[in-house]
Every structure is written in C-alpha cells, then in structure tokens.
Structure 1
Amino acid sequence: MEKLNPVFDLVGRIFIALLFIPAGIGKINSYAGTQGYMESVGTPGILLPLVILVELGGGIAILLGWQTRIAAFLLAGFCLVSAVLFHYHPADQMQMTNFIKNIALAGGLLFLVANGAGAWSLDRWRSRV
C-alpha cells in the first residue's frame, strides 16, 4: 500500500479540486445571481470576489499541490463558514445534508493541512530544489 500513497494523494487532491474549481468558475459566470443570493441570506455581496479567489485559487493550488497546507486551511475555514451561513437549516433535510457535507469536507482538508500534498506535488518538487 505504501507504493500507492502518491497515487492516493494525487487522486484525493484532484477530487477535492473538482468541487472548488467549477464552483469558483460558476460564481464568475453567474456573478450577479450569486451576489444576490449572498445578500438574500444576509452576507455582503461585496465579499464575492474573495469567495471566488478562495474557491478557484484554493482549488487550483490543491490540484497542483502548491502551498497546499495554506490553501487547505483557507478552504477548510471557507467550508465551515459557508456551512453555518448558508446551510444550517435544521428543518430542511437537504440543507442539513449540505451542512454536514461541508463539515466533512473541512475535515478532509485538515488532513491536507496536517500531511501536505504528497510526493507528486509542486510543494514536494520545490522542497527538492
């Protein structure tokens, strides 16, 4: 199994990035609608560029394994904040499923914070140079 660790690290990073990169692009493509939704739940729409930067930039960083611990830490915080602000509605089962998903995703990201990106990453490549 030890020989497969670099593969699992890379595939895990790809799977995590597949959530954040399209979400960031989607927010760019539907900027006004996303901003309106944020404001409808009491979150200032002016924060949308920061949200896009964290999702898109963090997702790309995770994918490449670049500054992985920092990106994962920021994305974990993002997941926790968005879980509370947008998904904590105990009477709505679907929203509570999204709430728990965000909490679980934050937990997975914290594994990246603790363990780094793995052997097949820019972080590892930079440490060898």
Structure 2
Amino acid sequence: MFNPNVFVKKIVTQPQVAALVTLISRALLIYLFLNSGWGKIFKYDAVVQHMVDMGVPGWMLPLVILLEVGGGIAFLFGFQTRLVAFWLAVYSILSGLIFHASPEDAIHLMKNLGLGGGFFFVMVMGPGRWSLDRLIEKE
C-alpha cells in the first residue's frame, strides 16, 4: 500500500536533498528578522518611541538589532545555530506577547509563536549539513 509520508521521507532524507531543504528553511525562517532588523536601523527614533510606549526600555533597541541582523546572518550561514535559534525563539515569543497581545493583532502573535516553534525545532535538530557549524564541529 502506498504511504505518502514514507514516499516524502525517502526523498527528503537523501543527504543532498536534506541539506538543501534545511538551508532553504533557515533562509525562510530568518528573512523576516533580517528585513525587520535592517528597517529598525533606518527608523531608529520611531522604533525607540514605539518600544517605550509599549513599556520596553529604548536602550534595548541596539540589542534587538544585533539579534535580528547579526543573529540573522549567523543563523542563515549556520554559525552557532543552536544558540542563535534559542535566542530567536525566546525573542519571537516575548516580542509577540509584548507587542501583539491585543485581539486585533492576534495573527501577528500567532506568527511570532509559530516562528518561536520553528526556531526551537532548529535548536534541537541543528542547522543541517550545509552550515558553518557542520564544518567547525566535524560531526
């Protein structure tokens, strides 16, 4: 009997396919953060004001930008991936709860929670074969 789950498993567990899929997954997960972090640099004062209005100290913005841009680049290239994934997961969930807790913003909260789950998954499973971590760790 044909089992589509087994069929897909046979494809995606091939080493080259798995490597490509994990690389694409890292890129898709991190795109939002790279774009958002870069935008925060050019709208710095407005973002600080928004943070303060939401009860978050404005001095934290450089840390947010560092995590989104610096952590984003590290995550994309698979460098210190598990550590970066942990911090991005925590950041995604906390920022969702702080900035998107209203009923009108429910979809953004769900997006943040989903991203947090994705980052926790990468933290557990690792960055995949095509990553700097793989070269450094010599698994």
TM-score range, shorter chain: over 0.9
**CA offsets, 1:10-65, max 9 Å, x none?**
00001112111111111111100100111111111111011111111111111000
Partner amino acid for 2:72? G
Aligned partner of 1:64 in structure 2 is: 77
1:122 aligns with 2:132: yes
Q: How many percent of aligned residue pairs carry the same amino acid?
A: 40
Q: Secondary structure at the match of 1:118?
A: coil
Q: Compute the displacement of 1:68 (Å).
A: 0.2
Partner amino acid for 1:127? E
Q: Secondary structure at the match of 2:55?
A: coil
What's the Cα RMSD here? 1.1
Partner amino acid for 1:114? V
In structure 2, C-alpha distance between the alignment counterparts of 1:50 and 1:99, rounded to whole Å? 21
Partner amino acid for 2:120? L
Aligned partner of 1:76 in structure 2 is: 89
Q: For 1:1-129, what aligned pairs fall within 5 Å after superposition?
A: 1=11, 2-3=13-14, 4-90=17-103, 92=104, 95-128=105-138
Higher Cα radius of gyration: 2
TM score, norm. by length of structure 2:
0.87
Q: Compute the displacement of 1:75 (Å).
A: 0.3
Q: Secondary structure at the match of 1:70?
A: helix
User: How many residue pairs were aligned?
Assistant: 126
Partner amino acid for 1:66? F
In structure 1, C-alpha distance between the alignment counterparts of 2:138 and 2:92, rounded to whole Å? 32
